[in-house]
Structure 1
Amino acid sequence: MSSPGFKQHVNAQFALIAQALASPQRLEILDYLAQTERSVEELSQLANLTVANTSRHLQILKQAALVNVRTDGKRRCYRLTGDDVVQLIASLRRTAELHLAEVERLAHTYLTDKQAMEAISAEELLTRIQRDEVTVLDVRPQAEYAAGHIPGAIHLLPEEVAERLHELDDSKTIVAYCRGPYCVYSYQMVQALRGHGINAVRLVDGLPEWKAAGLPVYTTPT
């Protein structure tokens, strides 16, 4: 039998992870890092936090081994320690969706009417890519697209649809994806395309979940 001391010590280590995740700001930071490596200053701007506050959150995440850091001159750049961190957050999200009614209420409040939009799974998208049945759009910022995207995906932002509509093959279904299931960019893209009479759906998850599932990712050469 294991001693109570061992269980207490190992549970304390597990609790480090739980404590690191117990902050909406740190979850947001992890979401940005799931897209690409970023500096403290970049994360500060994205999360609308001071640099000092961002640094404190990153130190907590680093102590829990959820992120690591490298030095690039005077810049300190952070990244996730592995795709398992993405899977951990996805598991947390699914549990919250199953057991917290407030999650569904918030989704209906902030994603009004968008909830009915058709979404396809990563497995279905991969099959349809292999059959050449779809055009895939990555609607995240350019830097995130360059850091990694679904092979063959076109980078296009919702506000660019009208001027770049001629670039899209409307004989195929268009599938838009962004940072994750609660990222509004893919919803906005589907709305914009449907407004032009184009058949469009969204990927149910985002690029981090696609990559964490071991599916192919292409990086734009620098």
Structure 2
Amino acid sequence: MADHGAKAALYDALAESAKALANGRRAELVDVLAQGERSVEELADEIDQTVANTSQHLQRLLRSGLVESRRDGTRIYYSLSSPVVGDLWRTMRRAAQEHVAGLEQLAADYLGDRSTLRTITRDDLRTRLRDGDVVVLDVRPEAEYAAGHIRGAISIPIAHLKSRLGDIPDGADVVAYCRGPYCIYADEAVRVLKKKGFPAARLEDGFPEWAEARLPVTRP
């Protein structure tokens, strides 16, 4: 008969990845790192934590094998250890969307009313990019755009959008995208663009989902 203790140890090890992600701040870190490599300082700013607290969370992810690090001078950079980690995070997120009570209200509390925002699917955007009748804006930070973006998209980070509206052709139909379904940058971009008279929509999710679907991307 098989040793149940050995089986328990095996399943404890299999659960290690889920345990490492069983914290909201670490989930946020994985969500950001799904866009590309970032420094500890950048990550701390993204999740609104001190560098010390962020480093502790990153060390937990590092011990579980979900992220890897490299040093460049005095700075330490982190990235996901493989695309499978991003897949795991998106699967956990989809499971929560289907089964966690109250998640929809929590999303609405954070993102605001999306009922007035036009949304476009990945398939529709692929068709419109092929037809050349849309301007696609990547409103994530420039470092994330540089790490990978939808082919044909232009980078205008949300913080610079109002000052760079002149970079968008008059009357252009615009689609904005960012990190995923719970990223607020694309929503903010669409609201700004609509106020300025641009027909604008947000992509239904974000760059990681576009890349996961094997749609055209540009990477360094």
TM-score by length of 2: 0.88
Query: Which AA in structure 2 matches 1:93?
Result: R
1:29-178 correspondence to structure 2 within 5 Å:
29-158=29-158, 160-170=160-170, 172-178=172-178
Q: Using the aligned pairs only, state the percent identity.
A: 46
Residues in 2 aligned to 1:57 and 1:159: alpha-carbon distance in whole angstroms = 27
Residues in 2 aligned to 1:164 and 1:45: alpha-carbon distance in whole angstroms = 24
Residues in 2 aligned to 1:37 and 1:159: alpha-carbon distance in whole angstroms = 20
Residues in 2 aligned to 1:195 and 1:73: alpha-carbon distance in whole angstroms = 44
Asked whether the equivalents of residues 158 and 192 of structure 1 are also in contact (C-alpha less than 8 Å), the reply is no
SS in 2 for 1:205: strand
Asked whether the equivalents of residues 170 and 199 of structure 1 are also in contact (C-alpha less than 8 Å), the reply is no
Deviates more, 1:10-19 or 1:113-122: 113-122
- Deviation of 1:57 (Å): 1.1
Asked whether the equivalents of residues 138 and 145 of structure 2 are also in contact (C-alpha less than 8 Å), the reply is yes
Structure-2 residue corresponding to 1:24: 24
1:163 to 1:67, Cα distance in 2 relative to 1, 3 A: closer
Residues in 2 aligned to 1:42 and 1:166: alpha-carbon distance in whole angstroms = 28
Query: Which AA in structure 2 matches 1:137?
Result: L
Unaligned runs of 5+ residues in structure 2 are none
Structure-2 residue corresponding to 1:198: 198
- Deviation of 1:159 (Å): 5.4
1:43 to 1:167, Cα distance in 2 relative to 1, 3 A: closer
Deviates more, 1:84-93 or 1:162-171: 162-171
- Deviation of 1:162 (Å): 4.8
CA RMSD, 1 decimal: 2.2
Query: Which AA in structure 1 matches 2:69?
Result: V
Deviates more, 1:177-186 or 1:6-15: 6-15
TM-score by length of 1: 0.88
Residues in 1 aligned to 2:18 and 2:162: alpha-carbon distance in whole angstroms = 45
**Count of aligned pairs between the two proteins:** 220
Instruction: Give CA-to-partner distance per residue, 1:82-126, whole Å, 9 cap, x none.
Output: 222222111111111112232111122233322442322223222
SS in 2 for 1:49: coil
Unaligned runs of 5+ residues in structure 1 are none
Deviates more, 1:39-48 or 1:56-65: 39-48
Query: Which AA in structure 2 matches 1:154?
Result: I
SS in 2 for 1:41: helix
SS in 2 for 1:95: helix
Residues in 2 aligned to 1:128 and 1:153: alpha-carbon distance in whole angstroms = 12
Instruction: Give CA-to-partner distance per residue, 1:23-49, whole Å, 9 cap, x none.
Output: 011011112211221222322232232
- Deviation of 1:189 (Å): 0.8
- Deviation of 1:6 (Å): 4.5
SS in 2 for 1:13: helix
